[in-house]
Amino acid sequence: MKKDKLTTASGRPYAYHEDSLTAGPRGPVLLQDYILHEKMAHFNRERIPERVVHAKGSGAYGTFTVTHDITQYTKAKLFNEIGKQTPVFLRFSTVGGEKGSADTERDPRGFALKFYTEDGNWDLVGNNTPVFFIKDAKKFSDFIHTQKREPRTNLKSATMVWDFWSLNPESLHQVMILMTDRGTPYGYRHMNGYGSHTFSMINKENERFFVKFHFKTAQGIKNFTGKEADQMRAEDMDFAQRDLYENIEKGNFPKWNLKIQVMTEQEVKNAVVNPFDVTKVWPHKDYPLIDVGVLELNKNPENYFQDVEQAAFSPAHIVDGIGFSPDKMLQGRILSYSDAQRYRLGANYEQIPVNRCPFMAINNYQRDGLMRIDGNGGSKPNYYPNSFDNIEADQNYAEPAFEIESTIADHFDRNAEGENDHFSQPGNLYRLLSQQDKENTISNIINSMNAIDGEKREEIILRQLCHWFRADTELGMHIAKGLNIDISKHFNM
């Protein structure tokens, strides 16, 4: 069989790959061995900046198929016909760990989905939980620092984690979910995905609806207990990557059923709980799940770095018929995610194949920048307006107006009515768990809080205990007992 030739990056075939060019068989290496330089210099540049969050991940290609008609809510083309299929790429991840960390850590899981639609790419960048730890992006860097390593010891620190959570009671709902066994899912196939934020949908009549997205696993929920997750960390750090990859290779394609919850603009005005607060869910009985379609993952990437590491998701990527909401956390992420991708991959990151929309010609006046590889607009004008090209800003894509409060202030009362009940929903969740799930959750909380150390241990534990009690008295009692806290000494019961 004819063999391909070994070449330099510039395409020159060469003869010796392993031996350096030397002066005599034992002599020093000559500077002119540029192949040696090229190999070493490229190797030195193999790493790109690690994602600050969601560094450890797995991804796969697949298809989204519409099974139900939701055109009364949205004109987005990907939903315009039952049976319509849209190619997707999905990246799962843990959140706090580094790129080499274990897949089974107790942590939310990222669920970032890119739909390649005929109207451009739509990224739904969510998690496996319907809520988040904070409701304002201004707290994000503080929160994430507590999930990373302590500055002095370079160790993970339960003290930092619980100090922040106890001082920030809006975290309780997400912490409650995290402490159930859903905090250690059995790989990525057996967990739900959620858009988490409230988004909007806009229909052909230009009416706006607010929506939440839910992807329910068709494989069934399956979790590790805390102990099993610890064991798996020792056995196989890459359990979730292996499980996803091997199942797709075998043709056992994982699926999720997409459902939405919908609120009209009028319902938003009358809602008691702020519908744009990402620390709260919309109760199913008030806002029932509506079937939309099926997501299937059916193709492993040919190359991990090319497709998974370079995949760049941003909530800023929406399509006609899908819009944002005033959710403060979403608003922060709209800016921050694209910014993070520009830092990680460069200003032209959208030209990398996994990020490029295959169905749309990209027409704008952005030019140049590192790694521009799409022709850079060729000889077309690089300014607007101009008398030469034939590109228009099409008013048909204008979004309908959205009424908001118009006062700007340095500080609004974040504890106003409808904003400050951080306890009912986590309590509801605890009460709906099976007895076994309750016991596992309590044990997970006790194990985690027991690791709080140092001079502030008691102060942090008591502050957090208050939150648990406010969610559910029985839950608080169990945790206090497990932590050996004499509640009669501290609380007026």
As measured in angstroms, the least distance from the Cβ of 286 to ligand NDP is: 8
As measured in angstroms, the least distance from the Cβ of 283 to ligand NDP is: 4
As measured in angstroms, the least distance from the Cβ of 475 to ligand NDP is: 13
Distance of CA 288 to the CA centre of its chain: 24
On whether the CB atoms of residues 108 and 127 are closer than 8 A, the answer is: yes
As measured in angstroms, the least distance from the Cβ of 33 to ligand NDP is: 59
Interface ranges with ligand NDP (CB under 6 A): 130, 177, 180, 182, 192, 216, 221, 281-284, 425, 428-429, 432
The tokens for 175 are: 């912490």
The tokens for 193 are: 């995905």
**DSSP secondary structure string for all residues of 34-71:** HHHHHHHHHHHT---PPPSSS-SEEEEEEEEEE-S--T
Identify which of residues 360 and 446 has a Cβ nearer to ligand NDP in the complex.
446
* Ligand-binding site membership of 337 (annotated): yes
Amino acid letter, residue 298: N
- Report how far residue 322's alpha carbon sits from residue 103's, in angstroms, rounded to the nearest whole number: 32
**Half-sphere exposure of residue 255, counting CA atoms within 13 Å on the CB side?**
9
Catalytic residue among 17, 42, 54, 270: 54
Measured at the CA of 346, the angle between CA 89 and CA 381, to 5 degrees, comes to 100
Give yes or no: 303 in active site.
no
Identify which of residues 280 and 457 has a Cβ nearer to ligand NDP in the complex.
280
Interacting residues of 346 by C-beta distance below 8 A, sequence separation 6+: 369, 370, 371
Interacting residues of 348 by C-beta distance below 8 A, sequence separation 6+: 369, 370, 371, 372, 373, 374
- Report how far residue 377's alpha carbon sits from residue 381's, in angstroms, rounded to the nearest whole number: 8
Identify which of residues 254 and 301 has a Cβ nearer to ligand NDP in the complex.
254
As measured in angstroms, the least distance from the Cβ of 392 to ligand NDP is: 41
Catalytic residue among 42, 80, 127, 317: 127
The candidate with the shortest Cα–Cα distance to 483, out of 307, 475, 135, is 475
Q: How far is CA 435 from CA 229, 431, 441, 442, 480, in A?
A: 20, 9, 10, 11, 18
Identify which of residues 160 and 429 has a Cβ nearer to ligand NDP in the complex.
429
- Report how far residue 400's alpha carbon sits from residue 200's, in angstroms, rounded to the nearest whole number: 11
**Half-sphere exposure of residue 478, counting CA atoms within 13 Å on the CB side?**
18
As measured in angstroms, the least distance from the Cβ of 443 to ligand NDP is: 14
Give yes or no: 411 in active site.
no
The tokens for 249 are: 């290779």
Identify which of residues 340 and 445 has a Cβ nearer to ligand NDP in the complex.
445
Interacting residues of 319 by C-beta distance below 8 A, sequence separation 6+: 76, 77, 78, 115, 117, 119, 120, 121, 122
On whether the CB atoms of residues 313 and 114 are closer than 8 A, the answer is: yes
- Report how far residue 215's alpha carbon sits from residue 173's, in angstroms, rounded to the nearest whole number: 20
As measured in angstroms, the least distance from the Cβ of 108 to ligand NDP is: 11
Residues forming the active site? 54, 127
Annotated binding site for heme: 337
Binding site feature residues? 337
